Chains A and B, each alone.
Chain A
Amino acid sequence: MRKYVNTGLLLLLAATLHGQDSLRQHRMLPFVSLSSGVLAGEHPQTGKILTSTTSLSGGLKVKQMRVGVGIGFDSYLEWQTMPLYGTIAFNLSKNTHGLFMQFSYGYAFAWMQENEFNRPSKEEGGRMLNPMVGYFLTTGSCRVGLSVGYKFQRVWARYDNQYNLASSFWPRHGNQTTVTQSIERVVVSLSVGWR
């Protein structure tokens, strides 16, 4: 997993720093953006919940379009995920402020918050999908955005040889439960960035 993280960070760095002058010749400018916000939804046990989401993305800006990669950290109460994603955004306005649309898609690594009754043998993340719309403001090279959207995250856990706590009979090997969980949340986030 460290390999993917390093690759993501390197891409981000490369997108930010690589050949700014040559890019400028092609009207391509690097950008970096840090977002933080809340994930709102309905949790099966606790009801309505708010959890946090944070991400860092970077890439190239071409006119009104921005293309890049990012890394994030999301919390879903018992699950924590680290998405690595590609992102594409489009400003609907040529002015210094206006609406924008953004779409991110990637894979998130996931970890479960284990407890006495929920201790998977194996856990995996899954695909992450995140369309957003928002409003941006730019002053100089600084850009601030407020966006709202939808986030889909898939996670997976496997439990081997579960046994009944009320019984002393150990199960035979081979018993297995897998849970594929599709998490849907509304995202509201605030981003601060360069360009």
Chain B
Amino acid sequence: MTRFSYVKFAFLVAASLICQNCSDTCTVSNTYIYYEPVYSTSAELKAAVSFDDPKPLTNLGKIYFKDGYLYINESGEGIHVIDNRNPSAPLPLGFITIPGNYDLAMVNNLLYADSFVDLVVLDVSNKQNIKEVNRVERVFNHALSYGYRMVTNENLILTDWEEVRSVTVQESECSGNQLQNWGGMWMEDGIALRSFSGVGASVIPTSTTGIGGSMARFTIAENHLYALDGAMLDVIDVSTPGQPKPKAEQEISWDIETLFPYNGILFGGSRSGMYIYDLVNPAAPQLLSKYEHVRSCDPVVVQDNYAFVTLRNGSECEGFVNQLEVIDITSLTNPKLVKIYPMTNPHGLGIDNSVLFICDGSDGLKVYDASDVNAITTNQLAHHQDIQALDIIPHQSIAMMIGPEGLYQYDYSDLTNIRLISTLAIVR
């Protein structure tokens, strides 16, 4: 071989060795937003409770009426107190700041409200100086927290989720799926908090309790506060004023949403059906039956032998139906469907002396004479279409309704002329 031939040969060998094990390499960059749990101490939560000047309504939750005063929950923040003795001119009196508050119920002048995992008792007898008088810690421990404990071993309480943007970069050999599975609790804004702010039921005033909206998860009956805590029903004895005593905790259903007491019976609305509990022993409700329906959100109200359930669809509610169902509960152990009426997107509802109010979402407020349960929609009394209606308390000829635009009040003393008498608008 000449010297030049050696060079040629070297080129060939070099060429074949250039890339003996050629393969792929990947640089994977994941940019994602996730939520980190934020913890507070019990002392911090307690210190945050205060009664302040009126605040604008911004993000309304539950409503509650008692003795001429309206209590409107500001989701997660507290309660607006409104003097509604003159429904034509409701007067905001103040705002009770309660961190992590989504539900409320009252006995006499004591207001029971949740504050994350705690049950707070407030004395509202002096409307100029509402104050916390008691607190039962660690009552509500079953809220959906995506694997994080609501209360840590260090007694810290999960109170918020902080949005964090993160970028990770890693090298790999391109094997397998390079994509990040965006799932679990790192997703969706506020989803972890949503479990606190479920939906619920209503009314039946007694001499000592007030009236809740139909989306409530707190209700009082037989001297007991019944509170939905995730999939659990918490039973708290409130017979001793200001000294609530947790009595029992029993599992209902992971999709339970609302509570409605009626004549010693507790009705629970869930996405899969209506639960009926006997309160003969108020400290230990006994399940009598479950009426099953298609999956959807379903607040429930009851009058005489009929339960009225609205079913709606939506991203939270799943399902594909929007309707009113009338259920015969003459036999509490064997409830039977009587009639279905199509609706647009029904949310809360209320009934007063057979006058049925349905908050039909974007289709507004519908009022029916429900004395004939087989002909409800043919007996429509009013339809206010120009509002978004979410929940309502009809009481003594005044229907107090909330929607995303604020508080609306209607006078239905004349059923042929149900008219809007006042509004308190949301401030955006």
Contact = CB atoms under 8 A, between A and B. Distances in A.
Interface size class for chain B? 35 or more
B183 A148 contact: no
Interface stretch (A16-24, A80-88, A136-144, A161-169): A161-169
B170 to A, nearest CB: 11
15 contacts: A41-B22, A41-B23, A44-B23, A133-B14, A150-B15, A166-B181, A169-B187, A170-B188, A176-B31, A177-B30, A181-B25, A181-B174, A182-B24, A184-B25, A186-B18
6 closest Cβ contacts across the A-B interface? Answer: A164-B183, A42-B23, A167-B183, A41-B22, A184-B22, A171-B182
B24 A184 contact: yes
Contact of A183 (B21, B24, B180): B24
B165 interface: yes
Interface string A17-49: 000000000000000000000001111110000
Nearest to B191: A169
A80 B8 CA distance: 34
A131 B176 CA distance: 30
Interface of B: 7-8, 11-12, 14-16, 18-19, 21-33, 165, 173-184, 186-189, 191
A161 B30 CA distance: 11
Best-buried of B14, B174, B175 by chain A (most CB within 10 Å)? B174
A180 interface: yes
Interface in A28-72: 40-45
Nearest to A184: B22
Nearest to B190: A172
A134 to B, nearest CB: 8
A147 B173 CA distance: 28
B11 A162 contact: no
A178 interface: yes
Contacts of B180: 162, 175, 177
Given A45-B175, A177-B28, 4 more contacts: A101-B11, A162-B179, A167-B183, A181-B26
B186 to A, nearest CB: 8
Contacts of B188: 169-172
A177 B177 CA distance: 11
Contacts of A133: 11-12, 14-15
